[in-house]
Amino acid sequence: MAASSVLLCNPLSTLRRRRLIAVPAARFHTPISVATLFPSSVSLRRAANCSLRSSTNSLVRSSSPRNVQSPADEQPPIGEDSALFQLENQKLSSWLYFSVILGVVLFLLDLLWIDNSTGYGKLFVDSLSAVSDSHEVVMLLLILAFATVHSGLASVRDAGEKLVGERAFRVVFAGLSLPLAVSTVVYFINHRYDGTQLWQLQSVSGLHEVVWLSNFISFFLLYPSTFNLLEVAAVDKPKMHLWESGIMRITRHPQMVGQVMWCVAHTVWIGNSVVLAASVGLIAHHLFGVWNGDRRLAARYGEAFEAVKGRTSVVPFAAILDGRQKLPKDYYKEFLRLPYLTITALTLGAYFAHPLMQASSYGLHW
């Protein structure tokens, strides 16, 4: 239909068609008409009529409220589809490599850091504990050490990857960050009920359920790169992704929002100075990560990131409420994916495994 409209509205195409099908009038004794004598004038009038009708239809369409498009509608997706897992694209050999690497990493982590007889974890925690008798101060020092290494290495990722390659840099990044994260988690578990009790709300009816639900939801707010396990383990070449779908439509920094939810829930439930100090340190680290993450993505992707930034928000739902982000009708399908089903199972498993986690931490005497 579009092609025929173009032909009808183009005088030159009309003349060409007439030359192609024109035959001598005397042979068929065809009556001579104005169109035969002046084909160009008829074509010009026809073109003018077509142009007028096209302009009128365009004006009607543009003035109709049903066809007005918001900026979010006009711009096609720029970022990647997050939490996408396609079974047909998976290789059995890659997941075998991942299993082997995971086993080796856990073995070395236990040997060189966790096991008090062979590792350096207890020595590291004891050295920080010697700085102050305050559990709050030690908790903040542990978080500061982790944040410095984790965010510091992330800040020099571009230069580091150019120097040693993507996979080697990931090994260095994980090899230094993971032991510090373990030390921080273990110390928190062991000393979360120490310090000064600020309030006691555990007897409030319904609070346990609210805290549990907040913790459960917080684990769904992981940054989508966390789901790329093959990249995390450097089986696949690690990449800096520009995500746009899924949880990113709600907030551009889901890890920060999830950490805030987790910290608030635990602080309200336990209500002492150690947990409050841990929450302040963790939230501060993640707020820095918001600025640092945007800075790094802007340096890597430039205008593409600025376009995604304009359609998303740091504060949850802000871009949706002010019309910069329009959720698809089938938005829920962006969460009906294997990574989120796995998160559900692991979160429930971690909740029921709390006694085991606590017993293991207590046994380290950090």
Which band of pLDDT confidence, cut at 50, 70 and 90, is reported for residue 68?
very low
Report yes or no: 256 and 313 within 8 Å, Cβ to Cβ: no
* 115 has a pLDDT exceeding 60: yes
The per-residue pLDDT for 252 is 96
pLDDT band at 3 (very low <50, low <70, confident <90, very high): very low
Report the C-alpha gap between 127 and 87 in whole angstroms: 47
Most confident stretch, 15-24, 69-78, 197-206, 218-227: 197-206
Give residue 17's pLDDT: 40
How much is the average pLDDT of 203-216?
95
Closest C-alpha among 313, 337, 279, 292 to residue 143: 279
Q: How far is 183 from 255, CA to CA, in rounded Å?
A: 20
Would you list the DSSP string of 89-105? G--HHHHHHHHHHHHHH
The span from the CA of 68 to the CA of 153, in Å, is 46
Cα separation, 325 vs 30, in Å, equals 64
The model's pLDDT over 159-192, given as tens digits with 9 standing for 90+, comes to 999 999 999 999 999 999 999 999 999 999 999 9
Q: What are phi and psi of 247, to 5 degrees?
A: -65, -25
**Is residue 226 within 8 Å of 176, Cβ to Cβ?**
no
Cα-only R_g, the chain? 32
Burial (CB count <10 Å: 0-12, 13-18, 19+), residue 347 = middle
Mean pLDDT of the chain: 84
DSSP at 112: I
Q: What is the mean pLDDT of residues 125-144?
A: 97
Paired residues of 80 in beta bridges: 243
Closest CA to 279 of 151, 139, 177: 139
Q: Report pLDDT for 236.
A: 95
pLDDT tens readout for residues 238-283:
999 999 999 999 999 999 999 999 999 999 999 999 999 999 999 9
| Mean pLDDT along residues 127-153 | 97
> Counting runs of H as helices and runs of E as strands, what totals does the chain give?
19, 0
pTM (predicted TM-score): 0.78
Question: Is 73 or 18 the better-scoring residue by pLDDT?
Answer: 73
